Amino acid sequence: MPIDRPSRVRDLFGQAGYTIDGVRDLLGPVAGAALARDEIVPAQRVTRGGTPLETLLQLFWLQVPVPGDALDFADLLALGLAERDGGEVRARLHVEPVEGTDGYVVSDLKARPGGVHLSPDHVVGQGGASANLAQLVVHRPVDNLLDLGTGSGVQAVHLSGRARRITATDLSPRALELARLSFALSGIEAELLAGDLFAPVDGREFDLIVSNPPFVISPERRFGYRESGLSGDDLCRRLVREAPRHLAEDGWCQLLANWLHVDGEDWRERVAGWVEGVDGWVGQRDVQDPAEYAELWLRDSCEVGGPEYTARYDAWLEYFERRKVTGIGFGWISLHRSGTDDVRVEELRHAVDQPVGAYVDNLLRGRPDVTPADTLRTAEGVVQEQTGPPGAEDPERIVLRQTYGLRRAAQVGTVAAALAGACDGDLPLGPLLAAIAELTGTDPGDVRDQALAVLPDLIADGFFDIIG
Ligand SMILES: C[S@@+](CC[C@H](N)C(=O)[O-])C[C@H]1O[C@@H](n2cnc3c(N)ncnc32)[C@H](O)[C@@H]1O
């Protein structure tokens, strides 16, 4: 019987306590935060005891050589995860536990300033973006999952408990090789396919498609994990355009994306125009100006202060200038095949409740028709804020704000504000609107028209629920 090295490595990790909690407890908040900033000295100080967990942390996270007899390294060496160097062992790859699962992912060693350099086929490990996507993904069991651009396989590992069948694709053979290792270490079965975007799954449909694609918009394709070589934001546009053909009925496609803000063009229309034949929900989480953007990605590839830094920075700015780019949006795109084809694009640059995936399928409600016969209830957790000059009888501005979920805010008039105070699910709108007209001395027809004009959006945004 062949030796099952991946499961032996899993046992080794389990016995060492090499889990997310184990790593967090050992590092503590200071060394953990420093490591997230690529500073290893504090972590070095708390991992000197020689325990198996400390050894694994030094090996895979600090990427420093460890004594050759500190652990039984045989399986790590045989799988190519580490190598002997004289009397010491050093990591060849980065192996890390995955939050919320029993799985592990394998990626290339982390590039750090002054340390390992990125190669064009670098396979990136877990980071802010991958965690962000994992939190966005809808919480429902699915029959079949496609992880497009799987890289280390992290999204598939995250979703392995929820998907009966997993297909993971990547353009990079090296990424597929490491994803295969990740799946073996995690005890996951997955179909691995090589190819560009949806080409490897031509003619197939999925219940869930997730992708953290190489969305970085840059003058040239230097690193395949982040840059596609397509012009501007064409990669994300193509993904959004092509995904619906691969979505089963009631299926979801969720991805991270970057898009251009071009002078004289509405970014919302640009992105909304990508979505065809499905419901779409786009949330812009951040916008950077061209200089911030170039700096971010030059920092990501540890090139700050390097010999080509200035030339690359300049070329990046030139690229944006030629395209009249004023900013670059970062955000989420969710597509849902539900048959209604509503598209919603919104600004979400504030903190939202995570994981969004726990409630995302409630966010794509369409704008309902509302009549005075409907009974509404103000959604739980909606608060009202009023601002205006001190002592003024009437506020200048009234805002309804959600204290949960996406924490949306809506500026409203006095009628909608009064309804938010009155809608408790008892009376239909008709009598409530009549009472508001009487109390405010306003024409009942005007009150009704105002209410019916704004309620569909407020209901679609989750400020009110129709309960009858
Ligand atoms: C940012 S990494 C994402 C890795 C991983 N899924 C995650 O969430 O961390 C993007 C991945 O897409 C792959 N990729 C790049 N261009 C591609 C293309 N045209 N088709 C499919 N995959 C591609 C890269 O090789 C890389 O593994």
- pLDDT > 80? residue 117: no
ω into 219 cis (within 30 of 0): no
How do residues 89-106 score in pLDDT, each as one tens digit? Answer: 999 999 999 999 999 999
Fold annotation for 376-466: Arc Repressor Mutant, subunit A (1.10.10)
Q: Distance (Å, rounded) from C-alpha 334 to C-alpha 361?
A: 10
How do residues 154-191 score in pLDDT, each as one tens digit? Answer: 999 999 999 999 999 999 999 999 999 999 999 999 99
Sign of the Cα pseudo-torsion (199, 200, 205, 209, in order): negative
Fold annotation for 128-362: Rossmann fold (3.40.50)
Is 197 a pocket residue for ligand 1 (Cβ < 6 Å)? yes
Is 155 a pocket residue for ligand 1 (Cβ < 6 Å)? yes
User: Which among 368, 381, 451, 453 is positioned nearest to 416, based on CA atoms?
Assistant: 451
- What pLDDT shows up at residue 11? 96
- What pLDDT shows up at residue 391? 79
Is 212 a pocket residue for ligand 1 (Cβ < 6 Å)? yes
Average pLDDT value for residue range 70-79: 96
In the chain, where are the structural domains located? 5-97, 128-362, 376-466
- What pLDDT shows up at residue 322? 97
**Contact residues for 98 (Cβ-Cβ < 8 A; gap 6+):** 20, 104, 105, 126, 154, 157, 158, 186
- What pLDDT shows up at residue 361? 87
Centroid of ligand 1 to alpha carbon of 172 (angstroms): 8
Is 153 a pocket residue for ligand 1 (Cβ < 6 Å)? no
Contact 276, 232 (CB under 8 A): no
- Which of 118, 124, 227 for mutating ligand 1's site (highest number of atoms within 8 Å of CB)? 124
- What pLDDT shows up at residue 363? 85
Q: Distance (Å, rounded) from C-alpha 155 to C-alpha 133?
A: 8
User: Which among 424, 244, 261, 272 is positioned nearest to 339, based on CA atoms?
Assistant: 244
Q: Do domains 128-362 and 376-466 have the same CATH topology?
A: no
pLDDT class of 339 with cuts at 50, 70, 90? confident
pTM, entire model: 0.94
- pLDDT > 90? residue 204: yes
Sign of the Cα pseudo-torsion (100, 108, 313, 240, in order): negative
Q: Per residue in 364-381, is it b (16+ CB within 10 Å) or e — as a string? A: bbeeeebeeebbbebbee
**Mean pLDDT score of the chain, rounded to an integer?**
95
Q: Distance (Å, rounded) from C-alpha 252 to C-alpha 156?
A: 15
